[in-house]
Amino acid sequence: MAGSKAGSRFREGTKTAEGGTMVDRTFIQTLAEANGIAIPEERLEVVLKQYQTYLELLNRLDSLPLDMGAEPSATFALPTEGTGAVPPRQKR
């Protein structure tokens, strides 16, 4: 199918959701209505492109070699200069 490789740009109706459902303007309209959202006709193309990008990113995440049993990190740290902690920012 044209445009099915991750990283490529997709035209209307060329990307499929999980389960093989064709993602087109009708799909987006139906999905929105099922969730109680009204999308104006002139906005459907923009939302379609956003949804296709979302699906593309999910495919990229699924392709990463991650251990499915790994626990998510509850904390994170920003890189610091040197070995000491960065002092808190002073208010001006």
Residue 32 lies in a domain: no
Distance in angstroms (rounded) separating the CA atoms of residues 80 and 56: 33
Is 85 part of a structural domain of the chain?
no
* 48 found inside a domain: yes
Residues of the chain predicted below pLDDT 50: 1-12
Contact (Cβ atoms closer than 8 angstroms) between residue 48 and residue 24 = yes
The domain in which residue 54 lies consists of 40-64
What's the confidence (pLDDT) of residue 69? Answer: 82
Through-space distance between the first and last CA atoms of the chain, rounded to whole angstroms: 58
Does residue 56 contact residue 6 with C-beta atoms inside 8 Å?
yes
What is the domain count for the chain? 1
- Answer yes or no: is 51 within a domain: yes
The predicted structure's pLDDT at residue 29: 95
Query: Is 5 among the domain residues?
Result: no
Domain-located, residue 1: no
Does pTM surpass 0.85? no
State how far the Cα of 55 lies from the Cα of 63, in Å rounded to an integer.
12
The SS3 call for residue 16 is strand
Q: Tell me if 53 is assigned to some domain.
A: yes
Q: Is residue 21 part of a domain?
A: no
